[in-house]
Structure 1
Amino acid sequence: MKILSIHLLLLVLVQFANAQRAVIRGDFADPSVIKVGKSYYAAATSSNWAPAYPVMKSKDLKNWKQTGSIFPDLTSWADYYYWAPELNYDNGKVYAYYTAHKKGGNLCIGVASADSPEGPFKDHGPLVCQEAGSIDGFPIRDENNKLYLIWKEDGNSIGQPTPIWIQALNEERTQLTGEKKELFRNDKPWEGNLVEGVSVIKNNGYFYAIYAAAGCCGAGCTYATGIARAKNLMGPWEKYAANPILTGQGDWICPGHGTAIMHKGKNYFMYHAYDKTSTQYTGRQALIRGFEFTPDNWLRFTDEYLSPSNKNLAYTSTDNFDKKSLNLQWSWSVFNKPEYELKNGRLALQIKDEREIFIARRIDSPNYQATVETVPGKNPLAGVALIGDEKNLIYAVAKQDSIHVTIARDGARSSLGKFPVAAADKHLFLKMDVKNNKEISFSYSLNGDDFTKLDITMPDISYLPPWDRAVRAGILAKGVQGDVAVVEGFVFKSE
C-alpha cells in the first residue's frame, strides 16, 4: 500500500508539472506579444476598465511583470470597450492597433505609436469605422513588403456574417489607402456566427492566418482556433479541412485570439482561455503553447507549454498607499474616474456625486480574501467590494457608527443589512471572503486581528461577471458631494 501511495503521489506531481498553467493569471484577454531587444512585451483587452490596455514585460515569456499601460488616460475620441490591442514593432517604432467605441458612433480601430513598449504612446486616432463596427486590427506586410491592415467587420453584432477585410496602410500608420478586399468570412459550421482575432505569420512561401471563431465569452463560450493559408497575402485563402486546430483541453476551455511569437528558435502562440474551475469569474487568462509547421505546409499545436517558474499559486499583496501614485494593480471604471489624494500613507477618495466610486484589482483564483483598513468618518462610507461593473456589485462599507452591506444588480440596489459599530477615533477593518467563485461573506475588526462575521444571508452573485470580463476586488466609497473617504491599507490574499 505504501508503494502504491508513493506511485500515486509521483503521478500527481508529474501531471501537475506537465499541466498547462497561465503565464499571466486573471483577466488578460486577447493578448498580443512582441519582442523588443531582449525583452518581450504583452498587452491585452481592458474593456471598460481604465487605464486602458495593461502592458506586461518578460525576459522568458513565462514570468511577467506589469510596466504600465498604453493609455494611462483614455483617448479623446473613444469612450468605452477598449478591446484587443495588437502590438507591432517595426523599423524601431512600437505601434498599438486597438479597438474602441467611438463617441456617438460604433466600434473603430485606432492606432498609437511610441519609441518604447513602455511608452508614452501617442494616439493617432481611428483608422476604420464601419457601420456594423470594426475590430481586431492586425498589421502585416505582403510579399512585396507593402504594409496592410487586416480586421474584422463586426457583423455578428447585428446578426450578419463577419468578413475579414484587408486594406493598404500608409507608412505613417495614419490612413488606409486604396480599396479594401475580403479575405474570408465565417462560412464553416464550427465557426458559428463569427471569425475574428486574426494573427498572420509567414513560413515557407505561405501566409498563415491563425484565427478565432464561435462564442468568445461567458459560461456558454464555444471559442476555438482555426488556421487558413495563402501563397499571396491578398489571397485566395484556404481554410484547413481539419479545423479547429485548438479547442478546450486539460484545465482550459474556449481557447483563442492571440499572437504568434518566436522564442529560442521555436514557434509559440500566446492566447487566452478560461480556467475550468474559475471560468468567467477570473476571466480569460493568458497561455502560451508551442506550434510547428507540418510537412504538407499546415500548422499544428504541440504539447509544449510555457508556464511560470513559481508553482505556488497562493500569494499575498499589500498596499499601504505610501507612494506618490497608485500602484499598477489598480484600475477603475472608464465611466467614473476617481479623484483621490495620496498623503501620509493614506488614500483619500473624493466623493463627486451619489455614485459609488471604486478602484479594483484583478482576481486570479476562485478563492480569495480582500481586507480594507478604513479611517471611518462621520458621514462618508468606505470599505471593500466585489465588482462586476458600476451597475453590478456587492460591498460592505462603514462610517463611525455603522456598517452597511449593499448589493446592486442592473443598477437596482438592495440593503443586505446595517450593523451598529462603535468605530469613532478607531480604524476599522472590513474583510471580504470569497470561496468557490460565488460564496461570499463579510466580517469586520477594530484591531485587524479579531474579525466578527456580519450576519447576512448569502446572496446569489453568479450574475456579477460582465459578458466580456471578470469580477474584481477592491475599495469602494460613497457619500454626498464634497465628502472625503479615507483608507489606510489594502490586503489581497489569493489561495
Structure 2
Amino acid sequence: MIQHKKKQRFVATLVNLRNDYYFNPMWFTSYRYLRAVAIISAFMAVTVTGKAQQPSIFLADPTIFADKGTFYLYGTGSSQGFPYYTSADGKIWRQEKDSTRRLALKRGEAYGNTGFWAPQVFKRGNNYYMAYTANEQIAIARATSPAGPFKQDTLLSLSSSGKQIDPFVFFDESGKIYLYHVKLQKGNRIFVAEMKPDLSDVIPGTAHECISSTEKWENTANAEWPVAEGPTVMKHKNLYYLIYSANDFRNKDYAVGYATSSSPTGPWKKYPGNPIISRHTVGYNGTGHGDVFYGKDGSMYYVFHTHRSPDTVAPRATAAVKLRFRSTANGEDVLEADSKSFRWLEVAR
C-alpha cells in the first residue's frame, strides 16, 4: 500500500512537471528540457497504465448510446455529418468497412451544411433520435436504428433567438421533457427549455439560464468570452446533477465540473470541489465535453475528449473514466471521477 501511494505521488509530480514544461515559455528555449518532457510523457504512459498507450479514435464531444447489447459511439469528427463506431463491450470499437456507411447522419438528409457538432442519441417509442448542432443551431433527426440513417422529413432547426449549440434532451420523471443547451450570449452559457411532447420544438418562453463561467477554474485565461458548455443531466436520489465543461476547448485547462439542484430547471449549486476531471487529474490536456454511459458491468462512465497530444489540439482524442457517487454526512452524494481508470477508446485490430 505504501509503495502504491508513493507511485501515485510520483506520477502526480510527473504530470505537473510535464504540464509546466509544455506551457511555461521559459522552457521552450532549451532542447534539454524539451527532451526531458518527451521522456517524462512516455514514462507516464507506461507508469499509469502498465503499457504505452496512444489514442486511436478521434471524435470530439463524444456520446455513447447502448441498445440491445451493442454500444454506439458518436461524436464531432466530419464535415459531412456524424461518424459512429460500435462495440460489444464499450472498450474495443469497430467501424463499418464500407466508408460510405460510416456516418449515422449525413449532410443533406437532415438540417445543416456545416459545423456538425455534439450529437446525443436516445430512444423514444419505436424510433431513435439524434439531437445535434449544425450551422450553430440545434436540430433533431429520426431513425429506425441507432446506426441511422438519421433523417428529417423537413430540414429544420429548433426555434431560437440566436446561436445555440450542444443539445442534451432529458426526460424527467414528471413526464416533462427538457432541452439543455448552450446559447452564445456574452460567452457560452448553459440554458434549459421545456420541449413539446412530440420533440418538434421547444415551448416558447420556457428558456432560462442554468450555468455560466464565474469560477476561477472555469476561465483560467481570463477570456472576455467565458465558456460553459457540453451539458449532461442525470438524476440521483433526490438531486439533479448537471455535468458541464468550462474554458475554451483549445485551452489546456478545459475541464469538467458539475452542479446540483432539487429541480430540473434549477437553481443550480456548483460543487465546490470542481473540476472533477482535468489535466491535473488524468495527465492529459483539454479534458472535457462528454456524456455519461453505463458499462456491461453496470458501472458508470464518462466518455469525453482530450487534446490529441500535449502540444496539439486537433483532432481531439476520445477517452473514458469511471464515475461514482460517494455518500457524505449531509446526505448529498458527491460525484467523483476515478482518474486511475482513464483509458483511450480503442479500435479493434
State the TM-score, normalized to the length of structure 1: 0.54
Aligned to 2:318: 286
Q: 1:141 to 1:12 in 2, by over 3 A?
A: closer
| Residues in 2 aligned to 1:20 and 1:268: alpha-carbon distance in whole angstroms | 22
Structure 1 residue 16 displacement after superposition: 6.0
Q: Does 1:273 align with 2:306?
A: yes
Q: Confirm or deny: 8 A CA contact 2:45 2:52 kept in the other structure.
A: no
Q: Does 1:299 align with 2:335?
A: yes
Structure 1 residue 205 displacement after superposition: 1.6
Q: 1:88 to 1:54 in 2, by over 3 A?
A: same
Coordinate RMSD, CA, aligned: 2.5
Q: Confirm or deny: 8 A CA contact 2:93 2:346 kept in the other structure.
A: no
Q: What SS is found at the alignment partner of 2:217?
A: helix
Q: What SS is found at the alignment partner of 2:235?
A: strand
> Residue 142 of structure 1: which of 144, 150, 172 is its match?
172
Structure 1 residue 277 displacement after superposition: 4.8
Q: Confirm or deny: 8 A CA contact 2:244 2:256 kept in the other structure.
A: yes
Greater strand content: 1
Segments of structure 2 that go 5 or more residues without pairing to the other structure are: 1-42, 97-101, 220-225
Q: Confirm or deny: 8 A CA contact 1:20 1:251 kept in the other structure.
A: no
Q: What SS is found at the alignment partner of 1:119?
A: coil
| Residues in 2 aligned to 1:174 and 1:117: alpha-carbon distance in whole angstroms | 20
> Residue 187 of structure 1: which of 185, 191, 214 is its match?
214
| Residues in 2 aligned to 1:12 and 1:253: alpha-carbon distance in whole angstroms | 14
* Equivalent AA in structure 1 for residue 227 of structure 2: L
Which aligned segments of 4 or more residues in structure 1 are displaced greater than 4 angstroms? 11-14, 18-22, 306-311
Q: What SS is found at the alignment partner of 2:61?
A: coil
| Residues in 2 aligned to 1:148 and 1:250: alpha-carbon distance in whole angstroms | 32
Q: 1:118 to 1:182 in 2, by over 3 A?
A: same
Q: What SS is found at the alignment partner of 1:15?
A: helix
Q: Which sits farther off after the overlay, 173-182 or 207-216?
A: 173-182
Q: Does 1:118 align with 2:150?
A: no
Structure 1 residue 151 displacement after superposition: 0.4
Identity %: 25
> Residue 259 of structure 1: which of 291, 309, 313 is its match?
291
Q: 1:85 to 1:96 in 2, by over 3 A?
A: same
Q: Confirm or deny: 8 A CA contact 1:20 1:306 kept in the other structure.
A: no
| Residues in 2 aligned to 1:150 and 1:20: alpha-carbon distance in whole angstroms | 38
Structure 1 residue 108 displacement after superposition: 0.6
Q: Confirm or deny: 8 A CA contact 1:256 1:272 kept in the other structure.
A: yes
Structure 1 residue 306 displacement after superposition: 4.5
> Residue 82 of structure 1: which of 103, 116, 122 is its match?
116
Aligned to 1:98: 132
* Equivalent AA in structure 2 for residue 215 of structure 1: D
Aligned to 1:244: 275
- Residue deviations 1:3-35 (CA, integer Å, cap 9, x gap): xxxxxxxx999626446956x624310001110
Q: Does 1:203 align with 2:233?
A: no
Q: Does 1:164 align with 2:190?
A: yes
Number of aligned positions between the proteins:
286
| Residues in 2 aligned to 1:41 and 1:306: alpha-carbon distance in whole angstroms | 17
Q: Which sits farther off after the overlay, 165-174 or 224-233?
A: 165-174
Q: 1:161 to 1:275 in 2, by over 3 A?
A: closer
Greater helix content: 2
- Residue deviations 1:68-99 (CA, integer Å, cap 9, x gap): 21223434642211111111223342111111
| Residues in 1 aligned to 2:233 and 2:172: alpha-carbon distance in whole angstroms | 11
